[in-house]
Structure 1
Amino acid sequence: MKKWIRSLSLLLSLVALTAVISGCGSTALSSRNVWKTDQKSKTITWGVKADTRLFGLLDTKDGKIKGFEVDLAKALTKQMLGKNAKAKFIQVTSSTRMPMLKNGNIDAIIATMTNTAERRKQVDFSNTYFYAGQSLLVKQGSSIKNVKDLNKQKGTVLGVVGSDSVENVQKVAPNATVLQLTDYAQAMTALKSGQGQALTTDNGILYGMSVQNPGYVVTGGTFVSEPYGIAMDKNQQQFEAAVNQALKEVRANGEYNKLLHKWFHNVKGFDYEEAAKE
């Protein structure tokens, strides 16, 4: 009997301890000051894409994620915390980036994320760091020249889960069928296999895909503006202010333009002035 009582007592103690730990973790997450934490650690943890050429793509040779957004995050980190500061990168997708931010796995999202009114209900955005526009990627010689053709022909357009591009194309081409894939690599494979007549997302991403896949071209101009912003959790005003100040400084000192040219100089038809708009 005494043994049973001791076991029950131990079990109740463990349950209570778990509740305390969980409660503390929840409180810490909801009330943490990202900027003060990062200043103390001299580290900013960024959520970046690893499947998006030119912005964030995993290099299988060395296992590192490389791209414009990765380099910009490094520049911002040093601008914010000093030359010895560290930028830490965690891979996200269009569907996982918001939950990972809310869970505290990352401090900020810099992952081709468009600043929209709907998203601003959940997160705050920095000033624009890349001004993109939604377009279409098609096989060279395709009868789909623009989004109107897609609507007229009642074609199938490919998109990625978690991207607002899917919602946008449904509005402008309601007759088209939308097929959503997990990531851009799968979407490109689906386009090549004929599962869709076009792939839609931001033109910056599509330019990268066209470079990687000769015979596929960006077409139709842009039919929706897609300004990219760095997403942060709500109530992180100090961190947001620091990010915006750093963005202003890297634009002013020429680092921003240097990175833009580094990653997009080989992209046919790329408009530097358009991309650099704030």
Structure 2
Amino acid sequence: MSTLSRRSFITASLGSAALLSLGLVGCADDSDDAGTTTSTASSSGSEENSVTSDPGVQSIVDRGTLKCGIKTDVPGFGYDDPSAGTYTGLEVDLCYAIAGKIFDMTADEAKSGKKVDFTGVTAKTRGPMLDSGELDVVAATYTITDERKESWNFSDPYYTDSIGMLVLKSSGMKTLDDLDGKIIGIAQGATTKDTLTQMLKDQGKENLNVTFQEFPDYPTLSAALSSNTIDVFSVDRSILRGYMDDTNELLCPDIIFGTQEYGIATNKNATELTKLVNDLVDEYKDNGELDKLLEAYGLQSA
């Protein structure tokens, strides 16, 4: 997986993407509508009935917008880009594509018609916001796990990632043994702690004295690393890439652990919406549109 700087992600343009139709080896030691379209008709009458028969989908049609939860601090996936004045990223475009399916239009038309209301979420808030009905879908680097599937529905995966550990170059940390006595910063509500603990056990390093400290979001974690408040910033590698610069680097990058798949989540009761979302993801994987988006945002699935 190639390493990209945060600047490269931030300067990535949504325009080109939006126009799409939418080993482990040893180491040394997520406004008003411009249009009035509310049709959910499709090329197949049976598909049309399937979509409109779902109270959840019909309520979205009646409302006129799809409520999507996204990350706003993960360049390449979901990012509130101040230079563009809008949200950019793979998951943002997937939300436009889902809205296009619901409102019988292209993803680009859904974007220009303001058919999506975006809300920033964190690992801690995204599940509860689905439960409360504040959100219809969540596309926010949401790892699919058996435990989470008991509470929410997930689409088939659209991205595969693994966990990484970002350290300052000036720290001199090079091996797993260098983690002894160190503070590892993680995001609230994430599965990183358990995954990293298991990796240390697998590597025979379970006796290392490691302390975990939780933070509410990734910019705060990045700032904590830069100020030496923490020694390690650990989260999905795709997220870390958006915060890499000349001052930091991955610790033991050749140790691949915590392999995980991202899916789009929906409320457990939203059966028809779940099917619509899953069909969209599968369609994008089959017709090459997902690969185009990954390339457009400089992403490479593991």
TM class by smaller structure = 0.7 to 0.9
Q: How does 1:97-112 map to 2 (within 5 A)?
A: 97-112=126-141
Is this contact kept in 2: 1:170–1:176, CA < 8 A?
A: no
SS across alignment from 1:220: coil
Is this contact kept in 2: 1:46–1:89, CA < 8 A?
A: yes
Counterpart AA for 1:158: G
Counterpart AA for 2:104: G
Which residue does 2:192 correspond to in 1?
Answer: 165
Counterpart AA for 2:295: H
Which residue does 1:124 correspond to in 2?
Answer: 153
| Aligned residues between the structures | 233
Cα deviations by residue, 1:167-191 (Å, 9 ceiling, x for unpaired): 3223434531001111100100010
TM-aligned CA distance change 1:121 to 1:144, over 3 Å: farther
Which residue does 1:77 correspond to in 2?
Answer: 99
TM-aligned CA distance change 1:143 to 1:103, over 3 Å: same
Which residue does 1:225 correspond to in 2?
Answer: 259
2:257 corresponds to 1:215: no
TM-aligned CA distance change 1:88 to 1:76, over 3 Å: same
TM-aligned CA distance change 1:246 to 1:80, over 3 Å: farther
Which residue does 1:52 correspond to in 2?
Answer: 74
Which residue does 1:88 correspond to in 2?
Answer: 117
Q: Report the structure, 1 or 2, having the larger helix content.
A: 1
1 CA distance for matches of 2:87 and 2:239?
A: 15
1 CA distance for matches of 2:167 and 2:235?
A: 12
Which residue does 1:155 correspond to in 2?
Answer: 182
> Structure 1 residue 79: deviation in Å?
3.9
2 CA distance for matches of 1:110 and 1:273?
A: 16
Higher relative contact order (CA 8 A, sep 6+): 2
> Structure 1 residue 42: deviation in Å?
5.1
Counterpart AA for 2:275: A
2 CA distance for matches of 1:165 and 1:145?
A: 20
2 CA distance for matches of 1:157 and 1:229?
A: 26
SS across alignment from 2:259: strand
Residue ranges of structure 1 left out of the alignment (5+ in a row): 1-31, 266-271
2 CA distance for matches of 1:87 and 1:220?
A: 40
Is this contact kept in 1: 2:71–2:79, CA < 8 A?
A: yes
TM-aligned CA distance change 1:262 to 1:149, over 3 Å: farther
2:280 corresponds to 1:246: yes
2:135 corresponds to 1:113: no
2 CA distance for matches of 1:150 and 1:171?
A: 17
TM-score, with length taken from structure 1: 0.76
1 CA distance for matches of 2:131 and 2:234?
A: 27
2:179 corresponds to 1:182: no
Is this contact kept in 2: 1:46–1:110, CA < 8 A?
A: yes
Cα deviations by residue, 1:210-241 (Å, 9 ceiling, x for unpaired): 1xx33212342321112111111112221111
> Structure 1 residue 81: deviation in Å?
3.4
Report which of the two structures shows the higher radius of gyration computed on alpha carbons.
1
2 CA distance for matches of 1:105 and 1:273?
A: 30
> Structure 1 residue 115: deviation in Å?
0.7
Is this contact kept in 1: 2:57–2:102, CA < 8 A?
A: no
Q: CA RMSD in A?
A: 2.1
TM-score, with length taken from structure 2: 0.71
TM-aligned CA distance change 1:79 to 1:149, over 3 Å: farther
2 CA distance for matches of 1:81 and 1:253?
A: 21
Residue ranges of structure 2 left out of the alignment (5+ in a row): 1-53, 201-205
